[in-house]
Structure 1
Amino acid sequence: MNKNFTFLLNFIVLFLVLTGNIMAQDKTGSIAGLIKTSDGIPAGYINVGLKNTGKTTQTDEKGNFTIKNVPSGTYIIKISSVGISAQERSVVVTNGQTVNADFTIAESSSQLDEVAVNGYKTPNRKPVNLGKIAIAPIDLPQAVQIIGNQVITDQQANTLGDVMKNVNGVALGANRGAVGENFYARGYSLGSNNIFKNGARTTIGGSPEASTLESVEVLKGSAALLYGGVTGGAVVNMVTKKPKFETGGEISMRTGSYDQYKPMIDFYGPISKKLAFRAISTYENAGSFRDNVKSKRFYVNPSMLYQISEQTEILIQGDYLKSDFTPDFGVGSVNNQIVDFGRSAFINTPWAYNKTNTATAQANITHKFNSNWKLNAIGSFQSYNRNYYGSDRIQANTSGIAARNLSRALSKEFTYNQQINVNGSFHTGKIKHTVLFGADADQSRVTSNAFAYGKDAKGANITTLNYGNVNVFDPATYYGSGVMPEAFAITSTLAPIYRYGAFVQDLIEVTEQFKVLAGLRYTDQKNASSRALNLETGITTPGATKFDDAFSPKLGLIYQPLKTTSLYISYAGNFITNTGTDIYFEALPPSLVDQYEAGIKNDLFGGRLSANLTYYKIRNNNTAQTAMYDQNGNLNSNTNLKQLNGTTVSDGLEIDLTGAILTGLNFTAGFSYNFMRFTNTPDVTGMIENVRLVGTTKNTANATLFYTFQDGAIKGLKLGASAFYTGKRNGGWNDAKNATTLRLIPLSAFTTFDLSAGYSWKKFSLLAKVSNLTNALNYFVHENYSVNPIAPRQFATTLSYKF
């Protein structure tokens, strides 16, 4: 990565010097304005253009637009969008001046919301919050996918995992104990560092609530330039719904198979001319197709928007999720193989529990200095608590006998995030620069406890306790004694992490067709000395302090032969910190990652269809994995002991289709291919090369289509269908070249189909769905002990009333 970085840095310096030397008097003017709805709400993503010139743009989410580099003269400016009445106006442009052209459309904000349901706005033109700046995806040398609220609502999604099935190239790699979903993108695991809520890092423990989200944004590939400390696969941003300056809301009730009951309420409106609020809440009580498994969830999401002036606003938002559910490690394995002895068989202890509480608070300040420059500052806080007890490793021998050793966990995590970003635009001669400067910091403090289950005859702590062997082929052995053994904490370990970074990015429009995106970030991460407190002796044992830092460059070239077509190539560097130690208990160096990407983005049929294609190759020269053997040559079971396995290469292809060819018809579709494997590993002890890495999926595909009838006696009737394909993948472990027993568990591909039907009448709507129509059976596997069957055929129905 160092050679690539040196080349990139030299290129940026040379380019900026050249552009700086062509400063000249601008002999053009600009047109700027604000578009509002009939009830005074800013209208975002409205098309604005100058007739007979080819110059077009869109309003941003605040209703503002600017058309620059317009030669002096008289023009006709036109605004239009799906579902609104077009308007035209004559404007006169003067050199060096900005002409104001405000519009008020005939439609209200509520009517625009209805248009979003029945119409279509190309995602290639809508900036994503993850980008930290209002750059349309068609101008970014990176794949972007947005799953909007309408898809979330139509599919009756409950959790983030339900939504992510629509993102091609992102797959659920494991669902360890049904406690936390583990997504993979382009071969890389997406942990908490890669998941964001409203632009700030968030945990995914307890499975985030998705039914109330406005959208889910996915920035594929490396986002190290903007965020640092993330893997090379993707970053995911959950966008919650915001306050509105009009009174309204929705009450709904969802019921489904296995005694699911989920009431939801969403209420918003103005408090004053400058202050608006929104409050969203859900409660869910549900059983499961799995024996003895149930869940209770409560979620609340209040927010408040204060528009101090036309230039400044403050958004305060927070949420709280209490998620209590039965930890479920599925059916386990028999002699390292998956055996179907019943989809519903629950083998954990009958009293097992997992209780999580997640609370977040965020302040988001936006200030516009003028039409060109804007500042955004974010401060956020999150607490996450987990209280777990049960048995989690069902690894049966050939006779089906497995020990159920107990596992107890109690942890508290406090995370703080601060960001400040300044973006704007200026010209050097005729070359336009859209720049973004930013700095951010994260602090995390995790406290976790280790437990014992009593004392032995010598007074020593018993740290391993078998609840009782189980025969997976004999359901009569599943219950065991039914008694929950007492467990008490013996150590409390505090592990602080500090991360800081600063970056600069410039989108350089050399011409209207050719653009360059260049950026550089510096990230410093400190894993501070952990402190393990022995609760019995009061003695504290400090750990080692680890420092990692790196530069993360990015360079992209964009060519747009047509307004509706963009071709790009890009390079991005990244570093990934490796946790744990080597087998000699020494800290591991970080992994250095190089990513190359090429793609094409298209808007067809007047913007009613978006078709994007992406190819990528990612090389990681320092991959860490759990060591197979310890320093004494014994088989290792300590997941904190790692070995560096040489190089991994991940390459693949992604295709995205999104559109609405007909009014009332909305569809999304996608296909992906990925192959991530070890290459150039050490002889003998190195990992076997050219074998698919555990957790990664060869192919994913998805397609969803919903049609709402617009006229006639069946106006308001909605029909929909979805298909989700998950390709071949591996469970178990990747093996070393000298392994005597191969522990890889190949998993077959599977497809699920969902059918939906609904009807809307005035302010009421009813939507029903049957999922996994064919009752397909397959598994998500973590190592070889958490083998979780996919859900069988199920039903869900949602009745809603809007007010």
Structure 2
Amino acid sequence: MSKFLFHPLTWSILLVQLSTHAVSAENESASNQIVAQLPSITITAEKQDERHSSSQAITQFNHDLLEVPFTKSHVSAQDIQNHNVQRISDALSFVNGVVYQDSYGGGFWDNYSFRGFSTDPNMGTIYMRNGLSSVSGIHTARDMVNIQAIDFLKGPMAAMYGQGAIGGIMNITTKQPEWQKKSNVSLSGSTLEEYRAALDTTGAINQDLAYRLGLAYEDNQSFRDHVDNQHYYIAPQLAWKISEQTQLNLDTEFSESKGVFDRGVPMVNGKLPVNNKTFLGEPSDGDIEIKDQMYQLRLNHEFNEDWNNTTAITYSHGERAGTSTEISSIASDGRTANRFRRSRQFETDTTNFQSILRGKFDTGVIRHELVTNVEAGHYTIDQAQRRNAEGTNSPIDIYNPIYGQNLLPLTRISKDMKETQTMMGVNLQDQIFLNEQWNILLGGRFNRLEQQIENHLTAKLAKQTFTPFTPRAGINYQPTEQLSFYSNWGKAFELNTGLNKDNELYEPEKTESWEVGGKYKFLPQSWFGLTYFDMEKQHLLTEGITDSYVDSGRVQSRGVELELQHQFTDKLRVNANYTYTDAEIVESEVEDKGARLKNIPKHTANLSADYQFDLAGHDAGLVGNINYYGKRSANYIDNGTSLPDFTVVNIGGYVQLRPDLRAQLNIDNLFDQDYYVASYTNYWVQVGEPLKATLSLNWKF
């Protein structure tokens, strides 16, 4: 019975039946009366879509961006649609301080670094969802059909949201059930034979219940030889208005991605001579499959105008399985790649409870905004991996590959372990408004973390317990309504996974962050921001191609972020940003002082624009985006190899053919530049897409 209830197809059928029954049971007039009678509950930031206000997730209260000692980068629903953003990786080109990282074999999950520091490259990046703490575990790359907006929150967030959130964290605002009936169907196809269909529909079941359903399917070929992938996504949701003060939401998501595992092309003597289309794995290995499912019950309750609570319990399950053949080195002849083979079977389960109480009160003339946050979580990951025998390899000619030769049997178990993490956290935070100009934010989180790994190969069990305290503090000074200066500081703590050479658990990561900046709002829809940040981390782990982790010791990242958003006219909006990041090794047993951190360019810049106009009586628009990425280290241990800098230009246009029908054309990499997005090692370099045109049709009904 539980399997039936949790099956995504069951959810879809149930929602369709309920919505059909609701429409047949009531006429249009009655439906309109119901909609009019339903007041909106806006306890959390689930409707945020503003570029110039702070995300509620920063402090758990809504403010103008100038009123908080932090900043953010915002990608709105309009940006997502107009620029044809289909993955989180597409959104990174609009923000500063956030850099794309290796996405595990060609885009199987989201992975990025924040101000020079990244998370575990073998698990994908964690994120917040609707202002609630992230849930760890294996997951596919997020589909955009269910995403309303994305905020990249800058500054130390660990005191509020737990492990790892030091330079900042991404908050995804999802679309929510609505009582007004509306649906949108989107179809698209590209010149690289990438095809996508998506449905987003919502409406009232009755005056107390509403639903939302997001569906997406992709069948993608590739400019890369022998490489393709498929993607499936379904997100059924229900909202129950228990009373005018209380609402219960059930959110579910089911996703699957499968396709050829593609490590890209290798560097040879510091150069990239291989044709960008050449695939150097084995087509006969079949597909890598990644699946995930998530269930969340979320209760929002307003006690009064000043106090409210959000309580949520979340469960997620993820799986990753498949076989791949990957390059380990290039032979002395400069054309033969030595390869190894491995199969993976990973599985994660995560349960998380969180309850956030928010309240406003005064002590004399001083205003307070108080937040208490209680969390508990349990996370397990089972990892099994097989490899070919040591000392053997499967060579291939990188300029004239012939597949199916010298395939190696997977005779060696290289990894077989189960890791368990248990977490409890209590957070208290107070933003104190001393007067109209000054406010300070003080917060701290007490954590209890337990970690154990059962190594089935050695029949040994390793355990450790930590009780860290992670504080954060900020101060904001607003001398005028248009100008503010701020500074914040905080610490973070994150468990490292895996065992060292002595079969012992690694030391956890410990991080400290500080920043200072200013924001100037020179017009109602225009502002300029400048930030200097300084972060330091100890025990940053990197996993090499041999499955052994490298402790990079002590690393630091310092830099400057500039951002300008300007609404020139009602029809023209421009966003420009620049980031300087100096991320390097300070102290390490395996690297020299000053060695670079992988995939972190010192210089990145972006310019994007959106111009709206009338085309023969139809609403229309043009968009453009220019991205610059500087040189960066190509290897997980800096060995002097660098990915070349690149500039990519994307343009697009859209027209509203009818009130219910919109056509859109987006052209990526307009000048057909060869470029390289990211790498894990200098033998696994991810190739950027060539010139691509995508035609999309959106029908609303």
In 2 relative to 1, CA 485–40 (structure 1 residues): closer, same or farther, beyond 3 Å? farther
Distance of 1:717 and 1:259 partners within structure 2: 26
In 2 relative to 1, CA 265–487 (structure 1 residues): closer, same or farther, beyond 3 Å? farther
Residue 325 of structure 1 corresponds to which residue in structure 2?
Answer: 259
CA contact (8 A) 1:351 1:482 kept: no
Are positions 1:692 and 2:590 aligned together?
A: no
Among candidates 70, 73, 76, match of residue 142 of structure 1: 70
Shift of residue 403 of structure 1? Answer: 2.2
SS in structure 1 at match of 2:694: strand
Shift of residue 721 of structure 1? Answer: 0.8
CA contact (8 A) 2:128 2:170 kept: yes
Among candidates 635, 638, 645, match of residue 732 of structure 1: 635
Residue 183 of structure 1 corresponds to which residue in structure 2?
Answer: 112
RMSD between aligned residues: 2.8
Among candidates 540, 545, 555, match of residue 463 of structure 2: 545
Distance of 1:41 and 1:600 partners within structure 2: 41
Are positions 1:765 and 2:662 aligned together?
A: yes
In 2 relative to 1, CA 392–597 (structure 1 residues): closer, same or farther, beyond 3 Å? same
Distance of 2:114 and 2:415 partners within structure 1: 36
In 2 relative to 1, CA 570–163 (structure 1 residues): closer, same or farther, beyond 3 Å? same
CA contact (8 A) 2:486 2:517 kept: yes
Residues 507-546 of structure 1 mapped to structure 2, 5 A cutoff = 507-528=431-452, 530-533=453-456, 541-546=459-464
Distance of 1:166 and 1:253 partners within structure 2: 24
Residue 208 of structure 1 corresponds to which residue in structure 2?
Answer: 142
Residue 12 of structure 2 corresponds to which residue in structure 1?
Answer: none
Residue 128 of structure 2 corresponds to which residue in structure 1?
Answer: 196
Are positions 1:650 and 2:554 aligned together?
A: no
Residue 744 of structure 1 corresponds to which residue in structure 2?
Answer: 640
Shift of residue 168 of structure 1? Answer: 1.0
CA contact (8 A) 1:521 1:553 kept: yes
Question: Which letter does structure 2 place at the counterpart of 1:781?
Answer: S
Residues 592-741 of structure 1 mapped to structure 2, 5 A cutoff = 592-605=510-523, 607-620=524-537, 622-625=538-541, 638-643=546-551, 645=553, 647-679=554-586, 681=587, 685=589, 687-709=591-613, 711=614, 713-734=616-637
Which deviates more, 652-661 or 317-326? 652-661
In 2 relative to 1, CA 586–532 (structure 1 residues): closer, same or farther, beyond 3 Å? closer
Are positions 1:266 and 2:189 aligned together?
A: no
In 2 relative to 1, CA 451–238 (structure 1 residues): closer, same or farther, beyond 3 Å? same
Residue 685 of structure 2 corresponds to which residue in structure 1?
Answer: 787
CA contact (8 A) 1:386 1:410 kept: yes
SS in structure 1 at match of 2:79: helix
Q: Deviations over 1:354-405 (max 9, x none)?
A: 1111111111111111111111101111111111201122521231212221
Are positions 1:493 and 2:417 aligned together?
A: yes
Residue 89 of structure 2 corresponds to which residue in structure 1?
Answer: 161
Residue 4 of structure 2 corresponds to which residue in structure 1?
Answer: none
SS in structure 2 at match of 1:218: strand
Q: Which has the larger radius of gyration?
A: 1
Which deviates more, 349-358 or 127-136? 127-136
In 2 relative to 1, CA 485–131 (structure 1 residues): closer, same or farther, beyond 3 Å? farther
Shift of residue 662 of structure 1? Answer: 2.1
Residue 55 of structure 2 corresponds to which residue in structure 1?
Answer: 127
SS in structure 2 at match of 1:407: strand
Distance of 1:370 and 1:451 partners within structure 2: 58
Aligned residues: 659
Among candidates 334, 359, 362, match of residue 424 of structure 1: 359
Residue 22 of structure 1 corresponds to which residue in structure 2?
Answer: none
Distance of 2:406 and 2:203 partners within structure 1: 51
Are positions 1:579 and 2:497 aligned together?
A: yes
Shift of residue 483 of structure 1? Answer: 7.2
Residues 389-400 of structure 1 mapped to structure 2, 5 A cutoff = 389-399=323-333, 400=335
Residues 297-308 of structure 1 mapped to structure 2, 5 A cutoff = 297-308=231-242
Distance of 2:137 and 2:462 partners within structure 1: 25
Residue 311 of structure 1 corresponds to which residue in structure 2?
Answer: 245
In 2 relative to 1, CA 355–725 (structure 1 residues): closer, same or farther, beyond 3 Å? same
SS in structure 1 at match of 2:85: coil
Are positions 1:349 and 2:255 aligned together?
A: no
Are positions 1:406 and 2:341 aligned together?
A: yes
CA contact (8 A) 1:357 1:384 kept: yes
SS in structure 2 at match of 1:153: helix
In 2 relative to 1, CA 221–129 (structure 1 residues): closer, same or farther, beyond 3 Å? closer
Distance of 2:426 and 2:469 partners within structure 1: 10
Distance of 2:216 and 2:636 partners within structure 1: 39
Question: Which letter does structure 1 place at the counterpart of 2:489?
Answer: Y
In 2 relative to 1, CA 298–580 (structure 1 residues): closer, same or farther, beyond 3 Å? closer
Which deviates more, 306-315 or 169-178? 169-178
Shift of residue 487 of structure 1? Answer: 7.1
Distance of 2:241 and 2:221 partners within structure 1: 44
Question: Which letter does structure 1 place at the counterpart of 2:506?
Answer: L
SS in structure 1 at match of 2:450: strand
Shift of residue 485 of structure 1? Answer: 5.2
In 2 relative to 1, CA 310–488 (structure 1 residues): closer, same or farther, beyond 3 Å? farther
Question: Which letter does structure 1 place at the counterpart of 2:215?
Answer: S
Shift of residue 39 of structure 1? Answer: 4.4
Distance of 1:660 and 1:42 partners within structure 2: 33
Residue 449 of structure 1 corresponds to which residue in structure 2?
Answer: 384
Shift of residue 720 of structure 1? Answer: 1.1
Shift of residue 319 of structure 1? Answer: 0.9
Shift of residue 210 of structure 1? Answer: 2.2
Distance of 1:732 and 1:625 partners within structure 2: 14
Distance of 2:482 and 2:38 partners within structure 1: 29
Question: Which letter does structure 2 place at the counterpart of 1:569?
Answer: S
Among candidates 749, 754, 759, match of residue 650 of structure 2: 754
Shift of residue 257 of structure 1? Answer: 2.0
Q: Deviations over 1:700-719 (max 9, x none)?
A: 2122211221x573531211
Distance of 1:228 and 1:193 partners within structure 2: 14
SS in structure 1 at match of 2:478: strand
SS in structure 2 at match of 1:519: strand
Percent sequence identity over aligned pairs: 22
Q: Deviations over 1:443-471 (max 9, x none)?
A: 11111223366xxxxxxxx57764x3101
Residues 268-307 of structure 1 mapped to structure 2, 5 A cutoff = 268-307=202-241
Point out where structure 1 has 5 or more consecutive residues left out of the alignment: 1-35, 46-58, 64-115, 454-461, 535-539, 628-635, 736-742
In 2 relative to 1, CA 238–463 (structure 1 residues): closer, same or farther, beyond 3 Å? farther
CA contact (8 A) 1:189 1:233 kept: no
Among candidates 554, 558, 565, match of residue 476 of structure 2: 558
Shift of residue 281 of structure 1? Answer: 0.4
Distance of 1:662 and 1:397 partners within structure 2: 59
CA contact (8 A) 1:128 1:136 kept: no
Distance of 2:266 and 2:414 partners within structure 1: 29
In 2 relative to 1, CA 770–42 (structure 1 residues): closer, same or farther, beyond 3 Å? farther
Q: Deviations over 1:467-496 (max 9, x none)?
A: x31011223x2x124979577979752211
Distance of 1:338 and 1:181 partners within structure 2: 27
Distance of 1:701 and 1:166 partners within structure 2: 9
Which deviates more, 174-183 or 547-556? 174-183
Q: Deviations over 1:121-170 (max 9, x none)?
A: 75332533464443444322122122111111111112111112212111
CA contact (8 A) 2:109 2:142 kept: no
Residues 60-75 of structure 1 mapped to structure 2, 5 A cutoff = none
In 2 relative to 1, CA 499–193 (structure 1 residues): closer, same or farther, beyond 3 Å? farther
Question: Which letter does structure 1 place at the counterpart of 2:174?
Answer: T
